[in-house]
Amino acid sequence: MSLDADAIVDRRRLRRKLTFWRIAAFVILAVALGAAILAVTGLNAPSRRSAHIARISVEGVILDDRQQLKMIRDISESTAVKGVILSINSPGGSTTGGEALYEALSELAKKKPLVAEIRTVGTSAGYMIALASDHVVARYNSITGSIGVLFQYGNIEKLLTTLGVEMDAVKSSPLKAEPDFYSTTSPEARQVLETLVGDSYDWFVRLVAERRKLDEPRARELANGAILSGYRAKEAGLIDAIGGEDTAIAWLRTEKGVAADLPVVTWKVPAEQENLPFSMQIGRSLGEGAASTLLNHLSNAKGLISPSLTLDGLVSVWHAPNAAETEARRGGGE
């Protein structure tokens, strides 16, 4: 049975409406997906090519990070960057990692006005890198200081004896691979470690004295490993002002002549990623985000992973390595 003319017209109208809504749904989905991609990759942020204040965020344990050092060099060479905020939320880290970061930031400060902002925590190597700036700001209740160096190691000799396990080694000399975890540290090995720690500590003290314009005895007095509130640090001359990022920006504007209307742009992505195809940038960003989330969950589950486990050798770190991560989860900073 053939359809009459009215039925044919109605069916065509229905098909046109269905086609319209299908297209509309596709466009909406494409726009939503595009917005999500921009949010993940940060491509919707103010452009690095236009004049701005660069923000360098140092979060968590400080390690020797080549990509971060390269990014700092790129900032120093960018004509669009008119000033830099070093935003610190770190308990410290490896001494060499802090040294490398300090040196890179010192070179940056020769080319760009640099101000440091200590947020929740900026201790040990976290404070060390702040010394590269010309001005240091911290909150009244920020935790800073803890100036010193540590070489820490464990010993399970008694546990092995209880279990009936013996360890032995053939060495080229008595001090090779000392200290170990299965025998008492010899006086000679301990002296080697004390010399190592002492050399690093003296370097740190001289750095504090030079950058904070203190005589060395006073710097050594302050470098007793104790943590200080931002208020106490200012009283001691270890920082310059109490406040947050607004205070840091105000200093750039009033003291360094940085324009008042410049946006603050966070530099995060290594420069080499900018040259990757768009699809690869998306994949890399999503992959890094997933890996970070997985590590955070593992760290929170019975303490399976701790940032301190990645540190070898001399460290300059306060003993609360998760403080910065806790603050970030609470929304304490960008």
**Catalytic residue, candidates 90, 124, 133, 146:** 124
Which residue among 47, 111, 176, 306 is the active-site one? 176
Whether 78 is catalytic is no
- Measured in Å, how far apart are the chain's first and last C-alpha atoms? 69
Q: How many residues does the chain have?
A: 334
Active-site residue, 124 included:
yes
The letter for the amino acid at 97 is G
Give residue 184's identity as a one-letter amino acid code.
T
Catalytic residues: 124, 176
